[in-house]
Amino acid sequence: MAVRPIRIIGDPVLHTPTRRVEVFDDALKALVEDMFDTMEAAEGVGLAANQIGVDLRLFVYDCPDEELRARVRGVVVNPVLETSERPETMPDPEDDEEGCLSVPAEHFPTGRAEWARVTGVDVDGAPVQVEGRGFLARCLQYETDHLDGVIYLDRLIGRHQRAARKMLRHNGWGVPGLAWDPATEQAEDV
């Protein structure tokens, strides 16, 4: 399998809703393996297909489940998200900080629902459901957002939104064609 370059914010594939997966074949399985390899190389906890330039509706994850006190790993194809109510208050900088492999080495507080459930299918088309609270819920919301063309910076409010715009200008991001390769680069060096 292979580690693929990760698109940086501004690439149109990140800002456009993805297409449903209709074909469940060896090519899909190979894509999922590449996504796991890429996520691991980038030291991430989730990766949506469009982050590697593929406009298909699927994501992989490997993140902690606070209730199980274990890491959970998997893939969800054609996910549908349900959540508890999302907070409308300013997120807590200590508890709500998020980062993104498509916005490498940057972090901002982002409000998310405490509970989330994603239903979809696996790479063979069999039903799958993932449900969690806390960090796992955050991960499920985050990756589904990616597939809807929403990056976490789009959810920022107030001073965090202003700081993110300043960061984008400073880094020269927000334009098409930028990517980084986690096989050869660290996010902090992008």
Known catalytic residues are 143
Q: Which candidate, 62, 45, 54, places its Cα nearest to that of 20? A: 54
DSSP string, 83-137: ESPPP-SPPPTTTSEEEETTEEEEEEE----SEEEEEEE-TTS-EEEEEEEHHHH
Q: Is the CA virtual torsion 157, 158, 160, 163 positive or negative?
A: positive
Question: Residue 17, Cβ neighbours under 10 Å: how many?
Answer: 11
Structure tokens belonging to residue 168: 């984008």
